Amino acid sequence: MAAPERFNLITDMLKKDPLDSFLNYALALEYQAKGELDKAIRQLEELKKRDENYLGTYYQLGKFYEQKNQPDKAIEVYKKGVEKAQEQKNNKAQGELNEALWLIDEEQ
């Protein structure tokens, strides 16, 4: 499926279920793919407020902040994600977030 079709499909589905966490996450990825990083960040920030337990948000939002050269915000997001992953006993997500923290720490 081509990117414009995928974007339109996601936005159409969101009209029917605007609180769907996966669809909101997917929309943020589509914004990023279109080069609209600020929109992607806003989308994930809203998702994080609405569903703080959606773990994928933390890793991707941290990466977006890294792309915007905002390492302090990225670190803050990653650390919150590690906390959430620990609460959910999700070792895979916790490991990915810890690795992101380790890598960003190496770069500073």
Q: Is the confidence at residue 66, as pLDDT, over 80?
A: yes
Average pLDDT over residues 53-69: 97
Distances (CA, A) of 88 to 15, 51, 68, 78, 91: 29, 14, 29, 15, 9
User: How far apart are alpha carbons 75 and 63 in whole angstroms?
Assistant: 10
pTM of the model: 0.92
- The answer on pLDDT for 38 being more than 80 is yes
Task: Report whether pLDDT(108) > 70.
Answer: no
Choice between 15 and 1, residue whose per-residue pLDDT is larger: 15
CA dihedral angle for residue 79, residue 17, residue 13, residue 47, rounded to 10 degrees = -20
* DSSP helix/strand/coil, 17: coil
pLDDT at 61: 98
Q: Per-residue pLDDT averaged across 18-33, rounded?
A: 96
Nearest CA-CA partner of 93 in 63, 54, 65: 54
Is residue 54 very low, low, confident or very high in pLDDT (cuts 50, 70, 90)? Answer: very high
> Can you give the pLDDT at residue 3?
74
Topology (CATH level 3) of domain 3-107:
1.25.40
